[in-house]
Structure 1
């Protein structure tokens, strides 16, 4: 009896393990922020599997977990041509997008083979191939609108234009399915000869700015001198207008009067055009 009771315990534990394994094989889980896409006998269900526990049907159906959160796509080593027909050596772009979870099964049906599976998490990125192709085309089109010499100064404007173009193209093909949240141009590497041209252009721009400042200073100084000269000329005109013949004669008479008041002088000053004879004071002793 004791041997029989001991043998039942391992059998019971074994039964629990087998039952747990059986149940585990019949159930799975979908993480928060993701949805499941069920395929039954090769047919994709139109209804997504909600986050949580779901039932499996071995040999009949399978469920793949897809992300409905923001997904990042990194495009590296792109070599588009700029507006001046010069090819860039390396352009790296990251695009972030989301897919409405209710449309993920339909996308999987429409774009078979275009989703990508993350190697670390095993979660699928919906229609990543489609978005990547649209982004690549948008990058090449936008780069073709900008000269290579100024492209390094237009990264934010280019990123915004790429996002708008990608969103419009995805919306045109699949309305209310994709949302492009942002685009980041991580790197723009031009040809070495272009880099030298950029440096030369920057140096020339700085030189031009310095010359412009110097020209402006010279212009302001000239304006100041003109203003000063105009002020002096105006003052002279005012003085000249006030010097009448009578006023000048009066001033001359005052000067002669002061000169004559000095009794120890023998100098006689005869003003020009004087109408009267000079008055000479002779001392009485002589």
Structure 2
């Protein structure tokens, strides 16, 4: 009985050890994640392999460091200076992800908190570099799309050898000092009013020119018509009109006038 008890205790201890080994040796990497294997009794970080999603068995003394590798986003409000030294606040969001195949190098050189160590400083440096090229008026009005593209380009340059891929940068807002913003809005309003006034003047000038051309055309037409209306033509037209009127049932008497050319007929009669 005593031997059975010792055997049972030994079996239980062995089972516990096996369970611990299995527990320590099994790793499940979830969807959108990847792992880097660290061997404390070997070469340290295993640089030749990035472990993908699924179930993995490793030696119980090794560690699997798991990173999210799907696209991530980070938002920040950065205070930067414009080209003339005025402080502006840029509210931006960056979409990024670690480079899958180089994940072991990212862990070894930058650590698990690589966002704080390299990503944020790179985005901040890119924003300072880009915003420093523009005036507050440009930042406030029409340069936001250009700023986004340039910050993205600068950030990629900063991170191209840092094992992090930047996919997109969105500038949600550019906040200027209140007095500068008010001055810019007044200036933009005045420019808009000036453009509207210039448009009205141009429209009025074009209308006056159109009326002038129309009047000149009518004058020329009248001159041509007057030159073509001889006495003979007028008499002929008058006779044609008289004949048409004579055909009317209300016409009673036709009097033919005298004169050198005979004059035009006159019709007398009741309605």
Over 3 Å counting, the alpha-carbon distance change for 1:255 and 1:170 in structure 2 is farther
State the TM-score, normalized to the length of structure 2: 0.71
Q: Flag the 1:39–1:228 CA change in 2: closer, same or farther, 3 A.
A: same
For 1:207, the equivalent position in structure 2 comes to 193
SS in 2 for 1:32: coil
TM-score by length of 1: 0.68
- Say if 1:149 and 1:197, in contact at 8 Å, map to a contact too: no
Aligned to 1:101: 100
Query: Any stretches of 5+ residues in structure 1 without a counterpart?
Result: 117-125, 260-286
1:166 to 146, 152, 155: 155
SS of 1:158 mapped into structure 2: helix
CA RMSD of aligned residues (A): 3.9
- How does 1:123-202 map onto structure 2 within 5 Å? 126=114, 129-152=117-140, 153-171=142-160, 173=161, 177-202=163-188
Asked if 2 retains the 8 angstrom alpha-carbon contact of 1:108 and 1:127, the reply is no
Structure 2 residue aligned with 1:34:
33
Other-structure match for 2:75:
74
Matched, 1:23 2:22: yes
Q: How much has 1:185 moved relative to structure 2?
A: 1.1
Q: Find the counterpart in structure 2 of residue 267 from structure 1.
A: none
Counterpart of 2:73 in 1: which secondary structure?
strand
User: Which sits farther off after the overlay, 99-108 or 47-56?
Assistant: 47-56
Q: Is the 8 A contact 1:37 1:48 kept in 2?
A: yes
Deviation at 1:105, TM superposition (A): 0.8
Distance change (3 Å), C-alpha of 1:108 and 1:22: closer
Deviation for aligned residue 1:229: 1.8
Contact 2:50–2:100, Cα closer than 8 Å, also in 1: no
Report the count of equivalent residues: 242
Q: Which moved more, 1:47-56 or 1:189-198?
A: 47-56
Structure 1 stretch displaced more, 31-40 or 14-23: 14-23
In structure 2, the partner of 1:83 is 83
Q: CA deviation at 1:225?
A: 1.2
